[in-house]
Structure 1
Amino acid sequence: MSIQIEPVRRNLRFALPRGEALTWHPAGLHVTQFFNTLSLFFPAGERFFIQSVRNYRNEITDVKLKTQVSAFIGQEAFHTREHEQYNQALQEAGLPVDALERAVERLLANVARLPRPIQLAATVALEHLTAVLGDVLLRNEVLLKDVEPHFAALWRWHAIEETEHKAVCFDAFESVVESDVRAYGLRVVAFVLANMLFWSLFVPFYIVMIARSGGLFDLRGWWSVGNLVAGRPGVLRRALPDWFSFFRPGFHPWQHDNREFLAQAETLMNNLSGNDLEPQSAA
């Protein structure tokens, strides 16, 4: 692909209002907990992503790609830090975050024992999933409409950077594992298995989060999140073509050219400068 995007390290701190961890989304508890449950996966997941690409850092010879990998690692490290604080707020709200995070850590520790190409293929697979989710968030303004501004800023920042670096691990994979039939088979199998494992954890985690916060028998809440995912607006349902594109033999992440959303980064930074969300210079 001819598109070359240079990821930018943005060392931002969001000072989330900890007392609003269960009420920050105006659509209600079920939608709030959908986002909150996603956050549970990020600290351990992003540490795994960082290590899987670090495994090959000395074998990547392209100077531009090495620079992109370094920026990717920086972005993921900042995401990890901010979601650790996010998840601590959820723990303080009485949710079993520590136990759920340990389950994710145990799973990824087992994956980390597999051969390096499999680890990187798993990262490529999950980076496509996070890129699709990031695109969903940026493309559908209703998702963050009237949301508490600290949480809205964090999710927008994360979505922008997932979009910005969505091809880095893919390009690294093709650089060190090549792009032949075996490599294609590896990344596709990894994609199927990674998605099965992720959603098989996400669904029960989400149910636990809803139950512990008192919404298990709130049918209206379940209806609202069902509409969000599969009904109207059905943002995940409408994102399925982008998700399935990964199976194309000639796939590349930037075949879905959504770089127009990256311009939101400057607006986000300007907005942060105008209130108590203080941007800090990149380390």
Structure 2
Amino acid sequence: MSAQQHATIVPREQLDFGLDGDIPKYWMDNDPFKTRFFDAMSTLFPQGEKFFITSVREYRDQITDPKLLQEVKDFTRQEAQHSLVHRHYNDRLKKQGIEIDAIEAELQQRFFVDAPKVTTARQRVGITAALEHLTAMMCTTFFERRELLDTSDPRVRAMYAWHAIEEVEHKAVAFDVLTKVAKAGYWSRVMPMITVTFGFPLTVAGIMNHMFKVDGFSLWERTKLWARGLWWFYKPGGLFIPTLGYYLAYYKPGFHPWKLQEMPSYGTWLETFQRTGDAIAAGNALHAAGQ
């Protein structure tokens, strides 16, 4: 896909991922660290997606390009669905003793009370564009490398596959609002990325540590979990090192999200979903198409 030929934003609603079923507690490789990494990210999405929508819509009245205006509307619908589905998923976590309400309250304070006091509208949409880039990067990692999610529960994997597909479809919307409407220059674009590069993983780590405590792991057990998990993250060929080029592309002058090629199996998910209407079957097909 290129800047001229790229995915169309298609809001998909009322999908069934079977999240009320008997999903194992440690649904990814029976591994507490890997599972709780994804679970911690899920706790961020309801308030995070709301922040993304709010940040982009602050510029809605200034958008004169009808194509971008429609993309903002479709972006809003997609993000609203992501929030809804992840709230449903997070209900599972709440039943496990995870303090979902407290996590959401803290994020709501951070995003909608504290942030407006110390940031401008352009900085907020800049943070959104940066986080959308990181999200698209992770989506590429998880579904183009089959071994990463090979032993995960297909229902949760399908939820993240759908989320990944839609992130690919709308990955340029916040960036276009930032650069074309908010008129952000180079430094106004990259400084928020530097901020979220440190802030995002620290937030996820704090939530994961809470989850480990709720799960009953001792300090020594948590230390071992983190040691093994960080090696999984950062070892050569691990979760994140192969994505370094994708991440650094954001810092190039003249960067645009559609200049990056990713998810060649995007069409596989789309074809399977259009043919079957089954989000789990589409998620399985996307996973099977990975390298």
Call closer, same or farther: CA 1:203–1:266 in 2, change over 3 Å: same
Within the candidate set 18, 25, 37, 2:28 is matched to 25
Percent identity, aligned pairs only, is 31
Counterpart residue identity of residue 32, structure 1: T
Within the candidate set 188, 209, 213, 1:186 is matched to 188
Residues 181-212 of structure 1, C-alpha deviation per residue, up to 9 Å, x if partnerless? xx211121111112222222111211111221
**Are residues 1:125 and 2:158 paired?**
no
State how 1:1-283 maps to structure 2 within 5 Å. 1-11=3-13, 12-17=15-20, 20=23, 22-109=25-112, 110-113=114-117, 114-178=119-183, 183-216=185-218, 217=221, 221-222=225-226, 224-231=228-235, 233-258=237-262, 260-263=264-267, 264-268=269-273, 270=275, 273=278
Segments of 5+ residues of structure 2 without an aligned counterpart are 283-291
Residues in 2 aligned to 1:188 and 1:276: alpha-carbon distance in whole angstroms:
38
Residues in 1 aligned to 2:91 and 2:229: alpha-carbon distance in whole angstroms:
24
CA RMSD of aligned residues (A): 2.4
Deviation at 1:227, TM superposition (A): 4.0
Residues 107-137 of structure 1, C-alpha deviation per residue, up to 9 Å, x if partnerless? 1122234321111111111111111111111
Residues in 2 aligned to 1:273 and 1:120: alpha-carbon distance in whole angstroms:
34
Segments of 5+ residues of structure 1 without an aligned counterpart are 278-283
Query: Contact 2:272–2:281 at 8 Å: present in 1 too?
Result: no
Call closer, same or farther: CA 1:47–1:138 in 2, change over 3 Å: same
Call closer, same or farther: CA 1:153–1:272 in 2, change over 3 Å: farther
Call closer, same or farther: CA 1:209–1:272 in 2, change over 3 Å: farther
- TM-score, normalization by structure 2: 0.85
Deviation at 1:86, TM superposition (A): 0.9
Residues in 1 aligned to 2:141 and 2:23: alpha-carbon distance in whole angstroms:
24
Residues in 1 aligned to 2:75 and 2:32: alpha-carbon distance in whole angstroms:
32
Query: Contact 2:158–2:279 at 8 Å: present in 1 too?
Result: no
Deviation at 1:223, TM superposition (A): 5.4
Report the secondary structure of 1:260's partner residue. coil
Residues in 2 aligned to 1:100 and 1:274: alpha-carbon distance in whole angstroms:
28
Deviation at 1:58, TM superposition (A): 2.0
Paired residues, number: 274
